Structure 1
Amino acid sequence: RKFLAKYFPETARERYGEEFLKLTQGGLNVEAYAKKFESLSRFFHFFRDGIDETYMCHRFQGGLKYELQDAVVPLGIR
């Protein structure tokens, strides 16, 4: 947290946070989407204290292609 505050301007942190909120799998394969999700989630956590794992799982699932979302639901990620 201190590292981000010191070395990344606020505008960059906000931009990456917004990019995280808009992130979807799109044309990415699942592995590339997961890597981008993990990378951008650091900036989202910077602004949102107390975000729990359940919320992050739902964000990840919601960004997957529709046909993959149905495959993830039975896994019961909470």
Structure 2
Amino acid sequence: MCCLDEHKVLMGGNVLHDEVDHWWGNAKQRLEVDGAIITWARFKREFLTKYFPEDERNRKVIEFMELKQGSMSVSEYAAKFEDLCHFALHYNTMEAEEDKCVKFENGLRPDIKQLIGF
């Protein structure tokens, strides 16, 4: 299902509550000066800047880059890998799919790597 940017912004704004809703009302006024359209990318950028500071995002990227299976099961490692992968933008492109697979396999325990021939 395809959703236009302006609809995403409307729906995103409608699910905000309390302090976040007040913040969005003020931010929307500021961003819509001179009739400017707020894109979904702009909405996300503003939201992340306010509620997910860059240093925290960077910590998540580092956590992803250093992720190893360790004592986790393969399914636990895969879930953690996918969760943290969202923060490493390079790995979220079609062009980087092979890099993502190599990164995943490289983080597996040696005994698991040997089983899959990596």
Q: Same fold (TM over 0.5)?
A: yes
Larger radius of gyration: 2
CA–CA distance in 2 between the matches of 1:62 and 1:54?
12
TM-score by length of 2: 0.54
CA–CA distance in 1 between the matches of 2:72 and 2:48?
30
State the match for 2:87 in structure 1.
Answer: 43
CA contact (8 A) 1:61 1:72 kept: no
Question: How far off is 1:71 after superposition?
Answer: 2.2
Does 2:74 align with 1:30?
A: yes
CA–CA distance in 2 between the matches of 1:8 and 1:69?
35
TM-score by length of 1: 0.78
Q: 1:9 aligns with which of 29, 50, 53?
A: 53
Superposed CA deviations along residues 27-71 of structure 1, whole A, max 9, x for unmatched, are 1011110000000000012xx375611000000000000011122
CA–CA distance in 1 between the matches of 2:115 and 2:102?
14
What is the total number of aligned residue pairs between the two structures? 72
CA–CA distance in 2 between the matches of 1:56 and 1:73?
17
Moved over 6 A (4+): none
Does 2:88 align with 1:20?
A: no
State the match for 1:69 in structure 2.
Answer: 113
In structure 2, the gaps of 5 or more residues are 1-40
Question: How far off is 1:8 after superposition?
Answer: 1.1
Percent identity between the two aligned chains:
35
CA–CA distance in 2 between the matches of 1:61 and 1:72?
9
